[in-house]
Homo-oligomer: A and B are copies of this chain.
Amino acid sequence: MGLKNGSSRVSLPTSRYRVPRSRQQIQKTFSNVKLTILCGFVTILVLRGTIGLGSITGSAPASEDQKVMEDIDRILREIRSDSEPEAEDSFTVLYHGNSNNHNWTYAEAVEAMNFSLGPKISDWDHQRQLSLTENPHFPNQVSGKPRILLLTGSPPNPCDNSLGDHYLLKSTKNKIDYCRLLGIEIIHSMASFDKDFTGYWVKLPIIRRLMLSHPEVEWIWWMDSDAIFTDMAFELPLEKYKDHNLIIHGYPNLLFEEHSWIALNDGIFLIRNCQWSFDLMDAWATMGPKGIVRDLAGKILTANLKGRPAFEADDQSALIYLLISQQDKWMDKVYIENSYYLHGFWSGLVDKYEEMMAKYHPGLGDDRWPFITHFVGCKPCGLYGDYPIERCLNSMERAFNFADNQILRLYGFAHEDLLNPKVKRVQGQTTDPLWVKEKHDMTAKIVID
């Protein structure tokens, strides 16, 4: 795919890692907005007074609707008001409060805070092997392939924009479809397991806990909720990874020559359930704890990684910095994948789906038929993406339907077009058993006309 794609990513993480506003700020502006919008509409009401009056008279259904809408609005406000951020820890208060009295160094902060993902784990490979031997009825293989657990997540509260949850649902349906076809188990987490590892760091304590709880699982596959499987026939080349423990999309030259902060994308990666992974996550998590540690670590990352704006430490930058600074310690077990789109930046792909359908077929996974389309920078569940919200949502709808057509084809249907949620029949009806077709024809061309 070369560097054209690589460089086309350069603008992304600025959005992905846009310094987040505090929840209160968002809520404050959020309620301001409501008033602002309403005031805007007052003019409209005056201009179209008659219509306005017509509807003010409040016919039974209208007033019923109004009550429901107002109830929902109030409930939303209540839910949001319940979700205030955790109280800040004492060091953070001290740091922000009197940062002039004492200039913490990162090392001091790390030592003082003494955070960790949990008790030190040192003998996992042996323990896990014992556990597997003792429980032969829960093998770490499924029909001859390593057992994979796909892990994704979304917030426990409703999205800030009313379409966000709809696309979270479609993204989850998309993952259900791929995982059903490939025999992969899914966990959709809505929980935060550690108050210190929040935001984009939330995945680390969850992955750690799942590795402990699922010794039968060989690979944990993290996938952001804004990533969509767009090649339902593509299978991970696991054989290729048998000597590696972390599989992540990226570009070695961006990593080791340019020290680019987007050399890797950790929105999607596979990590092996082994001692090495616990060690890596312990090292990786050092920069994660919310507050003084994450703030000071952010300065180190910005100072050392090309293109990184100034903001608190994020998981992706921290991983990149770790792998650059301790290359000898980790890299022999890290596989940097770019022969197919384990992470495919959406902007360069979503407009080419029709062309792909005309020329190619599922199962390729690369530019010709991307395995995963990742909506980095869109923040469909929030309000602050770096791309126009309409472009993002339309593109997600297209990606979802592009993938859904590969499922619907098995049943003789297809979306009328990639922006259309409705489906139409594309095959005559039949009375024969069809599953052989289903199991063996996933890479056939997709014809929707």
Residue numbers of A with Cβ under 8 A of B are 21, 25, 29-30, 32-33, 35-42, 45, 51-52, 54-56, 58-59, 61-66, 68-72, 74-76, 82-83, 118-121, 124, 127-128, 130-131, 134-135, 138, 154, 156-159, 161-163, 165-166, 168-170, 172-173, 176-177, 180, 185-188, 190-193, 209-210, 212-216, 383-384, 388-390, 393, 404, 408, 410-413, 420-423, 425, 429-436, 438-439
* A300 vs B56: C-alpha distance when bound (angstroms): 40
Min CB gap A204→B, angstroms? 14
Partner of A180, one of B82, B185, B436: B185
Partner of A173, one of B64, B188, B390: B188
Min CB gap A250→B, angstroms? 29
Q: Is the CB of B190 within 8 A of A173?
A: yes
**Which B residues are in CB contact (< 8 Å) with A66?**
33, 36-37, 40
Partner of A56, one of B39, B118, B432, B433: B39
Q: Is the CB of A36 within 8 A of B56?
A: yes
Q: Is the CB of A212 within 8 A of B169?
A: no
**Which B residues are in CB contact (< 8 Å) with A425?**
193
**Which B residues are in CB contact (< 8 Å) with A388?**
71
**Which B residues are in CB contact (< 8 Å) with A162?**
72, 76, 158, 162, 165
Partner of A45, one of B30, B42, B158: B42
**Which B residues are in CB contact (< 8 Å) with A168?**
165, 169
Query: Which residue on B lies nearest to A159, using beta carbons?
Result: B166
**Which B residues are in CB contact (< 8 Å) with A192?**
422-423
Among A56, A71, A82, A435: residue with most chain B CB under 10 A: A435
| 5 further contact pairs, Cβ within 8 A, besides A36-B65, A69-B161, A180-B186 | A32-B59, A36-B56, A135-B436, A165-B165, A193-B423
* A38 vs B423: C-alpha distance when bound (angstroms): 36
Min CB gap A407→B, angstroms? 9
Q: Is the CB of B62 within 8 A of A32?
A: yes
* A192 vs B213: C-alpha distance when bound (angstroms): 39
Q: Is the CB of B176 within 8 A of A389?
A: no
Q: Is the CB of A29 within 8 A of B190?
A: no
* A434 vs B271: C-alpha distance when bound (angstroms): 19
Q: Is the CB of B212 within 8 A of A433?
A: yes
Query: Which residue on B lies nearest to A169, using beta carbons?
Result: B169
Which 4 A-B residue pairings sit nearest by Cβ, starting from the closest?
A: A156-B421, A162-B162, A165-B165, A131-B433
* A64 vs B107: C-alpha distance when bound (angstroms): 39
Chain A interface, DSSP helix/strand/loop, else mixed: helix
* A62 vs B21: C-alpha distance when bound (angstroms): 13
Query: Which residue on B lies nearest to A154, using beta carbons?
Result: B169
Among A21, A55, A413: residue with most chain B CB under 10 A: A55
**Which B residues are in CB contact (< 8 Å) with A127?**
432-433
**Which B residues are in CB contact (< 8 Å) with A159?**
166
Q: Is the CB of A411 within 8 A of B131?
A: no
Min CB gap A386→B, angstroms? 12
**Which B residues are in CB contact (< 8 Å) with A25?**
61
**Which B residues are in CB contact (< 8 Å) with A120?**
431
Min CB gap A111→B, angstroms? 21
* A124 vs B430: C-alpha distance when bound (angstroms): 12
Q: Is the CB of A433 within 8 A of B215?
A: yes
Min CB gap A285→B, angstroms? 14
Min CB gap A49→B, angstroms? 10
Q: Is the CB of B36 within 8 A of A75?
A: no
Q: Is the CB of A166 within 8 A of B158?
A: yes
**Which B residues are in CB contact (< 8 Å) with A36?**
55-56, 58, 62-63, 65-66
Q: Is the CB of A131 within 8 A of B435?
A: yes
Q: Is the CB of B55 within 8 A of A45?
A: no
Q: Can you spell out 13 A-B residue pairs with CB atoms less than 8 angstroms apart?
A: A29-B59, A33-B69, A35-B56, A40-B70, A42-B45, A69-B161, A71-B388, A120-B431, A130-B433, A172-B173, A177-B187, A190-B421, A193-B411
**Which B residues are in CB contact (< 8 Å) with A186?**
176, 180
Instruction: Check A119/B71 contact, CB under 8 A, given A29-B62, A410-B213, A434-B212.
Output: no
**Which B residues are in CB contact (< 8 Å) with A404?**
190
